[in-house]
Structure 1
Amino acid sequence: MSRPFPCACPNNWLGTASFRPALAGGERGPRPACRCCHPRYGKEKTVTNPTSSATPIPIVDTHQHLWDLRRFRLPWLQDVPQLDRSFLAEDYRQATAGLNVVKSIYMEVDLDPAQQVEEAEYVIDLCTRGDSSMVAAVIAGRPASPVFKTYISRFAGVPYVKGVRQVLHVATTPPGYCLDPQFVRGIQLLGELGMSFDLCMRSPELQDGVQLVDACPHTRFILDHCGNASVQAPDLSQWQKDIAALAARQNVVCKVSGIVASAKPGVWRPADLEPIVKHVLREFGPDRVLFGGDWPVCTLTATYRQWVEALWWIVRDLGPADQRQLFHDNAVRFYGLE
């Protein structure tokens, strides 16, 4: 079933539709209000909505944040006032309502490193309760730390803990940081323990990621946020080459997440995100891409629903099986979910 956007076009994503005057017989009908849908410029467009079918595509969200500021300290929030409040499980339920999110994977939130153990224990408890969509977690860690082996070993036998992330696009991690021998050894250890590592780094430093992957052939990597390409970047040519290089490494998958946060607030369109998503799909193929909501960070520019529906529009030409792989099956297989 096809579902029109407000003006029957995703390019009027945040706008409003105008309406035709009453027709003969008293009927009224929607008229495209945006440039690309106006009869002068082109035909009305619709988007295939997987959840409108009799068998809606379930979603596994591989990038769900939560933070409770009553118990955790997130220093970076002082620079992002829009997010400087608690975001809890009930907020996530409300944000995802009606979208058939059947499972979600917690993603660490770059909190005060002194609270990493507490954060891990907190999310493990949330996973064990069974009263939310959260079924697994990628926890924080500092692979270059001399105590990383002791830290991560305590969680190695916990089935809910699937991997580790350290954000690499902050001031304390300069270019080349992930190539430090101690860091590399920490990532190799993750592979030995059957855990993955999320690559979340500056787009110009993706070649560092390529070298890290080559140094750790037995560790599985997830490239977060399509390699952090900016939707507003004037030139994506180097990013395209780096994505191709990472995709050539078979122990890397790519998370289609996060990019909407780099779009221009209030005026972005799904078509603005399309070149990045399409390039990732082309290079990694349908069986090595994962959907991620990146909530609540996505709310800097879009609601959760707007991000999901934008992605539905972008992948409208994919077959049902490939759409299901992106939104569900690949995550189940990669993370070993039941």
Structure 2
Amino acid sequence: MERIDAHQHFWRYHPVKDAWITDDMAVIQRDFMPADLKTVYDTHGISGCVAVQAGQSEEETLFLLRLADEYPFIKGVVGWVDLQDERVEERLAFFSRYPKLKGFRHIVQGEEDPRFLLRPAFLAGIEALGRFGYTYDILVKPHQLDAVLEFVDGFPRQRFVIDHLAKPYIKARVHEPWATQMAVLAQYPNVCCKLSGMVTEADWNTWKPADFSYYIQHVLQSFGPERVMFGSDWPVCLVAADYKAVLSLVEDAVGRFTLAEQALVWHKNATDFYKL
């Protein structure tokens, strides 16, 4: 069965630009480029990926687009643009010349304002995305989910995907109010969710597959296999697990599905959502 990795990153490591990669993440304090990932994909039968921004600059977006032009297995790019800029429509018109650019993301999880998504300038930027047909990846933590609910309610036709299950507190084994909020989000048919970024929310050194069961099953039951997609979060995942371990978590979770349902999670949902 074809498999697409709907969430991974590339970077040329710089200690200032990439200050978020702290010393306890030393294993990823280096360059990670397509040649590195292609070896991993060949080993695990992954046919392609969506490269997602890790830095908040248009330079980052162009960097990923150059890589996508050079490496055909990079099927799509989720970039960054200043969605609060008054000239955002002009910038989106500029980027529309790049067919592999599928959508945008802002690192909202790092914003101090828990209602950042509801700022008028940001909402105007999301409206502009819709006019160009771009997707939007929602990267938040659980304390920001109330704002997410209000946010998505205002854009019934915008394609949204929740990154990393909204980063539930797996290490602390906390379920609520995350579980209730995610179930409400799942009621919006234009919202999908990525099974990604889980191992870094657990105890990096002592996690067990059972630690993720509740969170994975809740997402699968809430969104259904029709609106869930696999993502590795490589290379960030390497601080807690290798690629095989990350893949196994999803394999075990969807193994009870029909083959048609498994195909949705492994490649069809990502292909349809991002128009790969």
TM-score for both structures, normalised by structure 2: 0.93
CA deviation string 1:263-305 (max 9, x = no partner):
2123212121111111001010111011111001111110011
2:202 corresponding residue in structure 1:
263
Shift of 1:71: 11
SS at match of 2:188: coil
Aligned to 1:232: 171
Does 2:45 match 1:103?
no
Give the number of the structure with larger relative contact order, counting CA–CA contacts within 8 Å between residues 6 or more apart: 2
Partner in structure 2 of residue 32 of structure 1? none
| Map of 2:189 onto structure 1 | 250
Alpha-carbon distance, 1:87 to partner: 0.8
- When residues 72 and 326 of structure 1 are mapped into structure 2, their CA distance, relative to the original with a 3 A threshold, is farther
| Superposition deviation, residue 310 in structure 1 | 2.0
Aligned to 1:303: 242
SS in 2 for 1:61: strand
Q: CA RMSD for the aligned pairs?
A: 1.8
Once the two structures are superposed, what CA deviation does each residue of 1:151-183 show, in whole Å capped at 9, x if it has no partner?
Answer: 22211242111100001111x442111101111
Matched, 1:276 2:215: yes
Which residue in 2 is equivalent to 1:153?
Answer: 93
Unpaired segments of 5 or more residues in structure 1?
Answer: 1-56
Query: Do residues 143 (structure 1) and 88 (structure 2) align?
Result: no
Distance (whole Å) between structure 1 residues aligned to residue 85 and residue 50 of structure 2: 25
Given that 2:11 and 2:33 are in contact with CA atoms closer than 8 Å, whether structure 1 keeps it comes out as yes
Query: How far apart are residue 100 of structure 1 and its match?
Result: 1.2
1:121 counterpart = 2:70:
no
Matched letter for residue 169 of structure 1: Q
Give the unaligned 5+ runs of structure 2.
Answer: none
Q: Closer, same or farther in 2 for the Cα pair 1:145/1:233, shift >3 Å?
A: farther
| Residue aligning to 2:27 | 82
Matches within 5 A, 1:14-93: 57-69=1-13, 73-78=17-22, 80-93=25-38
Q: Of 194, 219, 223, which aligns to 2:133?
A: 194
Which stretch of the first structure deviates more once superposed, 155-164 or 178-187?
A: 155-164
The partner residue of 1:163 within 95, 98, 103 is 103
State whether residues 175 and 205 of structure 1, in contact with CA within 8 Å, keep that contact through their aligned partners in structure 2. yes
Superposed CA deviations along residues 22-64 of structure 1, whole A, max 9, x for unmatched, are xxxxxxxxxxxxxxxxxxxxxxxxxxxxxxxxxxx22111111
CA distance in 2, matches of 1:327, 1:100: 11
Larger radius of gyration: 1
Q: Distance in 1 between matches of 2:134 and 2:248?
A: 31
- Matched residues, percent identical? 29
Letter in 2 for 1:165: R
1:292 aligned to which of 228, 231, 236: 231
Alpha-carbon distance, 1:70 to partner = 6.6
Q: Is the 8 Å Cα contact of residues 137 and 160 (structure 1) preserved in structure 2?
A: yes
Q: Is the 8 A contact 2:230 2:250 kept in 1?
A: no
State the secondary structure of the residue aligned to 1:128: helix
Assess, with a 3 A threshold, how the Cα gap between structure 1 residues 189 and 72 changes in structure 2: closer, same or farther. farther
Return the offset for 1:78.
Answer: 4.2
Q: Offset at 1:132?
A: 4.6
Instruction: Specify the SS of the correspondent of 2:42.
Output: coil
| Contact preservation (8 Å) 1:96, 1:305 | no
What is the distance in 2 between the residues matched to 1:316 and 1:95? 22
Bigger drift between 239-248 and 74-83 goes to: 74-83
Instruction: Note the C-alpha offset of 1:322.
Output: 1.1
Quote the Cα distance in structure 2 between the aligned partners of 1:124 and 1:241: 37
Check if 1:94 corresponds to 2:39: yes
**Deviation for aligned residue 1:207:** 1.5
Q: Tell me the distance in 2 between the aligned counterparts of 1:117 and 1:317.
A: 42
Residues matched between the structures, number: 275
Query: Which residue pairs with 1:134 in the alignment?
Result: 74
Q: Which amino acid in structure 2 is aligned with residue 133 of structure 1? A: F
Counterpart check, 1:219 vs 2:163: no
Alpha-carbon contact 1:198-1:221 (below 8 Å) kept? yes
- Which amino acid is 1:325 matched to? L
